[in-house]
Structure 1
Amino acid sequence: MRNRGPQPNDPSLFADRYLPALRAATDDLCWLLSRDYGTDSALQLVGNRYRLNKRQRMAVGRASASQAAIASRQERRVDLTQIAGRTVAIDGFNLLILLESAFGGGLILESRDGTYRDLAGVHGTYKHVRHTEPALLRVGEALRVAARVIWYFDQPVSNSGRLKTMLREMAETHAFNWQVELVYNPDKELIAMPAENVIVSSDSWILDDGGAWCNLGQELLQNDEIWRITI
């Protein structure tokens, strides 16, 4: 079975010798975002200055945020120890692919807002990998104390229906209180969650426009031996 690991050039692109430039680029992008520069134009400016390639620019973009956004996200963050008895709504592919990437040896970014982010993506089709079930089990055990867990997956993504079936079978086998929803736009569903619910995502738009959220990816992986860099 396939693995969701690093791309072939990642060990070179994110080697120790490039980290100072990547961190400086992230500093600059955060500074520009804090002064209301447009994200795309600011990232292009920073990327050109530090001569970053496309994948390095992606990493800098995903790791960055304005100071106001970081402060707002931290104010609404809920620790894993605080979710007992609450409904937890999960940005399904966002969390699952992060864990699959981490378990498969892929690069994980520790971002300026404290979240962990990967450089992978679905691109219209989801493929089950050998770390899918271990990732789901890790989530299930961590969230047993929640009153209910709702997974939201993108319905247009190919194989999302098969993934929904897998989650339902796992929930029955392990007595996880899971509900699985296939929707056209999980972001909107999560942002519209009632204030008492807790969102799980590292998507910037969801974190900025939603309510309380749990940095579950970081909490689940912080003690694992994974390929993680801070930029």
Structure 2
Amino acid sequence: MNNRNRGKNTGDDTLFGPQKQREKLTSAVQDMYYLLSRGYAEKASAELVGNRYRLKTRQIQSVRGASASAAQIQNRKSKRLNVSDLQDKVVYLDGFNVLILLESLLSEAYIFEGLDGCFRDLSEVHGTYKRVNQTLAAIELVAKFYRYSAVQKVIWIFDKPVSNSGRIRQMILDFALENNMKWEIDLEFNPDKFLVENAEIVVSSDAWILDHCKNWFNLIQYLIDKEKLSVNLVKMLEE
């Protein structure tokens, strides 16, 4: 086992810990909502908001992830399912999206709740996935969901071009076989497109997938509530 985790970056406590910074981020997200709802481009909106509030790069990244237009929020909420809707259904997981977010959460990295109710982190793959200390625990959380929800099958979809995707596929496949779970783990060259076109129910916090999928389930919210997980949470919406 290695000593890697997906915890905080140096400086994250300064950027996301103080109440003053969190209030600034909440205001920035509200401004982004206003601009996006009126048709402004996301990149231009983020630049404008970032300049106004003098945000650092990681703060802007968190604001972009948490923001959405009124139409996007309405669309996403209309397709969100409850756990009771999943019984005997096939659920597709956006593999790296789900796994890395859970690893970050378990590593006590900052997790951000957006306007659409989804949770996101600031980790990135950059073409290579590296297993961390929390990988197995993250997979075990998905296993608990599998058992609790009584879904028919879970299908993990990973990015084939990402280095080590084959290794994580084999690790999860071995775990499923050892624990007698009906899981499939597939590699796709364009997982986002595959999930939108093939999944009736998808688990992801990717904005493009949420905008174009048929239905989705908020697995992270479910696990936080069900397992009473300790989360280093930054709410990016006004209470």
Decide: shared fold, TM above 0.5. Answer: yes
The structure 2 residue matched to 1:64, chosen from 38, 62, 67, is 67
Q: Distance in 2 between matches of 1:189 and 1:176?
A: 23
> SS in structure 1 opposite 2:80?
coil
Residue 193 of structure 2: aligned partner: 188
For the aligned residue pairs, the C-alpha RMSD in angstroms reads 0.9
Q: Distance in 1 between matches of 2:195 and 2:207?
A: 12
Q: Give 1:193 deviation, angstroms.
A: 2.0
Residue 143 of structure 1: aligned partner: 146
The amino acid that maps onto 1:173 is E
Does structure 2 conserve the Cα–Cα contact (< 8 Å) formed by 1:127 and 1:159? Answer: yes
The structure 2 residue matched to 1:166, chosen from 163, 167, 171, is 171
TM, length-normalised to structure 2: 0.94
Residue 116 of structure 1: aligned partner: 119
* Residue 230 of structure 1 pairs with residue 235 of structure 2: yes
Q: Give 1:81 deviation, angstroms.
A: 2.5
After superposition, what is the alpha-carbon deviation per residue over 1:6-64, rounded to whole angstroms, capped at 9, x for unaligned? 10110001122211111110000011000110000011000000000111000000000
Q: Distance in 2 between matches of 1:50 and 1:58?
A: 13
Residue 103 of structure 1: aligned partner: 106
> SS in structure 2 opposite 1:217?
helix
The amino acid that maps onto 1:12 is T
Alignment of 1:16-27 (within 5 A): 16-27=19-30
After superposition, what is the alpha-carbon deviation per residue over 1:69-92, rounded to whole angstroms, capped at 9, x for unaligned? 111111110112321100101100
After superposition, what is the alpha-carbon deviation per residue over 1:90-113, rounded to whole angstroms, capped at 9, x for unaligned? 100000000000000111001110
Q: Distance in 2 between matches of 1:77 and 1:143?
A: 18
Q: What is the percent sequence identity of the aligned residues?
A: 42
The structure 1 residue matched to 2:45, chosen from 24, 42, 46, is 42
Does structure 2 conserve the Cα–Cα contact (< 8 Å) formed by 1:105 and 1:227? Answer: yes
Does structure 2 conserve the Cα–Cα contact (< 8 Å) formed by 1:88 and 1:148? Answer: yes
Q: Distance in 2 between matches of 1:80 and 1:151?
A: 18
* Residue 202 of structure 1 pairs with residue 213 of structure 2: no
The structure 1 residue matched to 2:79, chosen from 76, 81, 87, is 76
The amino acid that maps onto 1:91 is D
Residue 129 of structure 2: aligned partner: 126
Residue 95 of structure 2: aligned partner: 92
The structure 2 residue matched to 1:175, chosen from 162, 177, 180, is 180
TM, length-normalised to structure 1: 0.97
Greater shift after overlay, 91-100 or 144-153?
144-153
The amino acid that maps onto 1:166 is M
Q: Distance in 2 between matches of 1:166 and 1:215?
A: 24
Q: Distance in 2 between matches of 1:80 and 1:218?
A: 11
Q: Distance in 1 between matches of 2:27 and 2:213?
A: 29
> SS in structure 1 opposite 2:131?
coil
User: Can you give the 5+ residue segments of structure 1 that lack an aligned partner in the other structure?
Assistant: none
Does structure 2 conserve the Cα–Cα contact (< 8 Å) formed by 1:124 and 1:156? Answer: yes
The amino acid that maps onto 2:117 is G
Residue 217 of structure 1: aligned partner: 220
Q: Distance in 2 between matches of 1:114 and 1:181?
A: 28
Q: Distance in 2 between matches of 1:39 and 1:94?
A: 21
> SS in structure 2 opposite 1:192?
helix
